[in-house]
Structure 1
Amino acid sequence: MLNGNIPSSLGISLSTLSLLNLANNQFNGTIPPNLGNCVLFEVLNLGSNSLEGSIPQEFDKLMVLRSLVFKDNKLNGLFPSSILFPSSPLFPGLVLLGIRVLDIGHNLLQGQISKSIVNLSYLQALVLKGIFFSGSIPPEIGQLKKLQILDLSCNNISGLIPSTIVSLQAMSIATEDGNIMYQNKVFYGQYGRVLYHDTLNMSSKGTELQYYSYILSTLTGIDLSNNQLNGVVPLEIGKLKGLKFLNLSMNNPSGIIPHNLGDMSQRESLDLSSNKLSRQIPSELQSLNYWACLYLSNNDLSGSIPQGGQMITFENTSYSGNPNLQGCPLPKNRSWPKFATPPPVSDGEHKD
C-alpha cells in the first residue's frame, strides 16, 4: 500500500543497487531519471502502480538489465528503443543485449517494433499488450531463439502474420524434450540469499492468469489478438510443437485453419475466433488431448465438426457464429451428422 512519489534519491544513494521491486503499490508521479544512475540494475520492476509521464532516456545506461517491468501504469510517449540497446561507456559501440524479460503492457506508450529486436538474443518474454504500438510485426522476430512468451495483443498492429514466426526455436520443442530455458535470478546481500521470481499475466478468452517464473520455465504462448492483422495463418505453424497457448482472435486473417495444428501435442488453448477463416475444421485437431480452451466462433467455417477426441466436449459457444457449420455440440435445430438409431426401449428397467 505504499504511495506517493518514488524518491529520486534512490538513484544517488543506492547507485550500486541491482534489484528494485516496487510493484503492486500505489506510487504515482513520474519515474525518477536518477534511477538511470543505477547502472548495475539487473531487475527493475515498477509494475502495477499509477506512474505517468515518459520513460526516462537516462535508462539507456542500464547495461546489465535482465528484467524490465513497467506494466499496468499510465506511462505515455514513445518507448525509447535505446533502453534495449544500451552502449557501454567504457567500450563505445559495444551493445549489451542481456535482457530476458520486457513487460510494458497496459500503458499509453506509442511506437513500433523495430527489426533490430533480432539483436535481443536472450529475450525470453516480450509483453507489449494493451498499449498503442502500430506498424507491422518484423520478420526478424522469428530469429529470437529463446523467446517463450510473445504477447502483442490489443494494439494497432497491422499487416501479415510473418511466416518466420514458425522458426521460434524455444516454442518448437515439446516440454518432455527438455524445454526448460527460463531461469530465476538469485541475489546475495547482507542477509543472505534472495530468489527473485518474475511474473507474467496471460489471457485466454477474457480470463487472465498470473504465472510465476517456476511455471514460466515450461510455459510457451503467442497472443496476437485484437489487432489489425490480415493475410493467412502461416500454414507451417504446426512446427511450434511446444506451443501451449495460441490466440489470434479478433483480427482479419482469412483462408483455412492449418491442418498441422494437430501436430502441436502440447496445445492447451487455441483461440481463432472473430476472424474470416473458412472451409472445414481440420480433422487432425481430434488427436490433441490436452485441450483446456478451444474457440473457433464467428468465422465462416463450414462442413461438420469433427466428432472425435475432445472436439464435442466444448460448449456450443466454441463453434457458434459459423452459419454453415453443423454437428454436435451445436444446437439440435442445426443439421447434426447422422448417427445410428438407438434400439427401442421395451420396459421400465431398460428405460432407467
Structure 2
Amino acid sequence: MTGRSRARALGVLVGPLPTGPLNAITDVEGVLVGHTTIDDGAGLHTGVTAIVPRPMRALPAAVHTGNGYGKLVGSTQVDELGVLESPIVLTGTLSVFRAADAVLTYLMELHPGGLSFNPLVGETNDGFLSDIRRRPITERHVLDALEGASGGLPAEGCAGAGTGTTALGFKAGIGTSSRLQVVEGVPVTVGVLVQANFGGVLTVRGVAMPVEELVPGAGRVEPPGNSCMIVVATDAPLDARQLGRLARRAIFAMGRVGASYSHGSGDYAIAFSTASRSPVLPDAALDPVFAAVMDAVEEALLNSLFMATTTTGVHGHTSHAVPYDRLGI
C-alpha cells in the first residue's frame, strides 16, 4: 500500500459529521477486523475478511438485498429472527461455501455444546484478476482471519477479500469509515466496512471521473459478477427492523459514487447493533443515524479505491489504481 492515501488525506471530505478516532468500523467498541490475503503475483489475488463482534453473542441485525445476484450464506435466518449469531466473513464467490464451513468450525469450538449454528458469509466475484475456479481458500485461511481480528485500523484496498476486486472501472478492494453522532442525547458511533466490486463510473463529490479519461488507453473494465458487500456496525440501541432501515440506506449510498446497480451485481448490506442498553431509539430520531450511514458508506467506498494498487492477474488482466494526479481535487 506504499504511496496510497485515504480519501480524507486527499482532501475529499464526505459530509459534515466527525469521524471516530480511526475513521473505521473498528471505532464501534467491540468490533474487530481480520484479513487473510492470498496474492501469488500471478493468477491468485483473493482472500478473506472477517468482521468479529466481541464478545460473540446474539446481536440485533438485518440484511438488505439491493440486488440478489450473489451468494450470502445464512442471510435468511438473520431476516427471520433479526439476530446475528456469527462473525461476518467475506471472500471470493466460489470460495464462499468453504468459508462458511470454516466459520462453522470456529463457532463449534466457541460453543462446544451447541447443535445448530448460522455462519454468515458473503462474497464478490474476483474472477477478473484471480483464478476463482482453483478455490484457494482453506479453513486455515478463514480461521487465521477470525483469530487474528483486532481493533486497529483495518488494511484497505488490496487486502483480504478485496485483494482481487475491481469497482467503477478501477482497482478497488476493502474500505472502511465511521461517523459520530448524538441522537436523543445518546452518543452514537456508526462504522462501515465495504468489499467493493461493482460497475459504474467513479464519481467524486458529484463529478464523474471515467477510467477512460483518467487512465488513457486503459479501457473500461466491467468484470462479470459485479457486486458489493457492505457491513454496518453501530452502538446505537436499535432493533432488527430499524437496522433494516439502516441497511437500505447503505445500498442507496452506492449511487453517490456512481454505481450502476447492474443485472449481475449482488449488492447486500448487513447492519448490526452492539448496544446493550435499552429502550431502542424512536424511529423519528433516526435521521441523524441515516445521515451517518450514508456518509460513512460513501467514504468507505472511496477509500476502497484510493487505497488500492494497480494489479495484473489471471490471463494478464489488469485493473488500474485511481491516479491521484488526474483527479483534480
TM class by smaller structure: under 0.3
Higher RCO (CA-CA < 8 Å; seq separation 6+): 2
Decide which structure has the larger Cα Rg and report it.
1
Q: TM-score, normalised by structure 1?
A: 0.22
